[in-house]
Structure 1
Amino acid sequence: MRRFLIDWLTRATLGVSALLVGGVSLFIFYGVFSRYLFGSSPIWFDELARYMIIYAAVLGIGAVWVKGGHMRVDVLERKVSPTLRKTIIFYQWIVTLILAGAMAWFSYKYMGKVSFFKTPGLQVSRSLPLISFPVGFGFLFLLVLLKGPFEKRTQSDDLK
């Protein structure tokens, strides 16, 4: 059940990120096309594309962590005894869990503090683009917690 939940959340967040990147491509294409055809494009298109890029990146961080796609130096882990290796891996896991939880909490609190400000182009609450941070770090926290410290994260998971 845990493995199913991890796989489902990973696919869902990467799928949403991919759709957002595709949407960004369409918005940028339309912006460039309308500048050449009509002489200008709506200012809110650039702002929306920027927010979609942020959403795509932040929503995908948990899935990338699960798949082992983050840059990581594991030279020390390979050169020490198995007991010390487990200690180092547990330390890395607990620090990642604490930082992801803290970032989800602090970004949620910050989102509430800027909710009355409006974005310049779309004229929506600033909390709308910022909601991606607590959601993305929340998914990272959940996936790190579900994955546990001793389940190996490698690029070979992509080949399954």
Structure 2
Amino acid sequence: MKVLNILSDALFKLEKLIAILLMSVILVSIVLGVVFRYFINSPLTWTDELAIYMLIWLTFVGGSMSVKNGKAASLDLVFEKVNVLWQRIFLIVGYTFVTVFSTIVTYMAVKWISNPAVLTQISPGLKISMFLPYLSIPFGLFCLTIHAVNHLVQSFKFEGTKVHVEGGE
């Protein structure tokens, strides 16, 4: 499915940009916090909270990116020792479980953040809606689902004597 591969690649490029932005905001936030606390003696109350929320976003976006690149935690020791048929079976079963799990959790996360009680929560330091930090969960898992489905489809393709699931760039 060429469309799925194009969608997965486009999402990966978006995730890379988001990850760069998130890491930059974390760096600036922490540096500002340190400078204001220790050099100006007037601590900023929101810098730590901002860095934490950006780290949460980075966790979900980075987790999705690791699935796209094939760098997520796996049992390579076992995988490399079995024949091609078993490698294919492991990939299909693994990506099926990842797809089902991430789809269910994405659905539950969207349902959860759509709750009026969540929508009205305000963060203590930044005074922003908690919807924004919580949005990282369905966004990251939606991207992960797209990447996992793409890999699942690719694992049915036969490429010579070796099983290979194409990663990101």
With the shorter chain as reference, the TM-score category is 0.7 to 0.9
- CA deviation after TM superposition for structure 1 residue 66, in Å: 1.3
Given the alignment, which residue of 130, 137, 144 partners 1:126? 130
Given the alignment, which residue of 49, 54, 59 partners 2:56? 54
Note the 1:1-160 alignment, pairs <5 A: 1-2=2-3, 3-113=5-115, 114-149=118-153, 150=155, 152-153=164-165
Per-residue displacement from partner, 1:41-62 (whole Å, max 9, x unpaired)? 2211211111011112212222
- CA deviation after TM superposition for structure 1 residue 100, in Å: 1.0
> Is residue 17–residue 57 contact of structure 1 (8 Å, CA) maintained in 2?
no
Return the TM-score normalized by structure 2. 0.81
- CA deviation after TM superposition for structure 1 residue 135, in Å: 0.6
> Is residue 9–residue 63 contact of structure 1 (8 Å, CA) maintained in 2?
no
The answer to which of 37-46 and 130-139 deviates more is 37-46
CA distance in 2: counterparts of 1:45 and 1:85, whole angstroms = 46
> Is residue 100–residue 140 contact of structure 1 (8 Å, CA) maintained in 2?
yes
Per-residue displacement from partner, 1:95-150 (whole Å, max 9, x unpaired)? 00011111211222222332222211122222221001001100111121123251
- The alignment's C-alpha RMSD in Å is 2.2
- CA deviation after TM superposition for structure 1 residue 9, in Å: 1.7
Per-residue displacement from partner, 1:66-102 (whole Å, max 9, x unpaired)? 1111121033333444333322221101000011111
> Is residue 106–residue 141 contact of structure 2 (8 Å, CA) maintained in 1?
yes
Return the TM-score normalized by structure 1. 0.85
Letter in 1 for 2:67: W
CA distance in 2: counterparts of 1:153 and 1:24, whole angstroms = 33
Percent identity (aligned): 23
CA distance in 1: counterparts of 2:124 and 2:73, whole angstroms = 35
Unaligned runs of 5+ in 2: 158-163
Residue 145 of structure 2 aligns to a residue whose secondary structure is helix
Letter in 2 for 1:46: D
Aligned length: 157
Unaligned runs of 5+ in 1: none
Which residue is 2:161 aligned to?
A: none
